[in-house]
Amino acid sequence: MAWVIVLAVILGMLFIILWLPLELEIDSQKDVYRAAWSRIIDFRMIPDEKGLNWFFRVFNKKINISNTPQKSAPEQTKPAPKKRSPFPTRLIWSMLKNLPRAFRIKRFRINWDTGDFIRNAHLYPLFYLWSNRRMQLGINFMGQQEVAIFVQTRLFSLAQAFLRAYFSYKFK
């Protein structure tokens, strides 16, 4: 009976790990650059006048890693002979075709100024027509360049894309 409970707990933890979302957020207007695995692990970069501040968070413990000492450049050595890739090229191409299905774009916003008034005037109606609820494209005439993107995926979806590519390669 105890092994059933242990097995159920392990399977439950595995299910949670595979189902929790991986997130990538880039927002140049708010200066948010973040990669996270749900609320468990969070990696954040915040630019300021001194440079870049790097923050790492595991559960609720925040760690500032921007003050770490810089390592000296390693000495250059002779490059090792090229080894053959463990994955065939056809498998890699199949995986690259399946991979975009695993990602969900939750927010995509571009507000751009090309610096050329005429080009902005030509792009304005195109961006207006291409915009929709999920993809907000805009041209401004004030010299602002803003990009915001929020992409989400799950380990389950990545594994599914890989397995789909692998089995379609093996059984062709």
**Tens of pLDDT, residue by residue, the chain (172 residues):** 888 898 999 998 888 888 888 899 999 888 888 999 887 888 888 887 777 888 888 888 888 877 544 455 566 676 666 666 676 777 777 777 878 888 998 989 999 888 888 998 999 999 889 888 888 998 888 888 899 999 999 888 888 888 888 777 777 6
Locate 46 and state its tokens: 């915040």
- Helix spans in the chain (H): 2-19, 89-98, 117-130, 155-170
Residues written for the chain: 172
Taking the mean position of all CA atoms in its chain, how far away is CA 54?
17
Neighbours of 157 (CB within 10 A): 20
For residue 21 the two structure tokens come to 């979302």
d(CA 116, CA 96): 36
pLDDT of residue 151: 93
Q: Can you point out the beta strands (E) in 4-120? A: 21-27, 32-37, 41-48, 51-58, 61-64, 104-112
**pLDDT of the residue at 150:** 92
- Cβ-in-10-Å burial (0-12, 13-18, 19+) of 165 comes to buried
Q: Residue 147's pLDDT is what?
A: 92
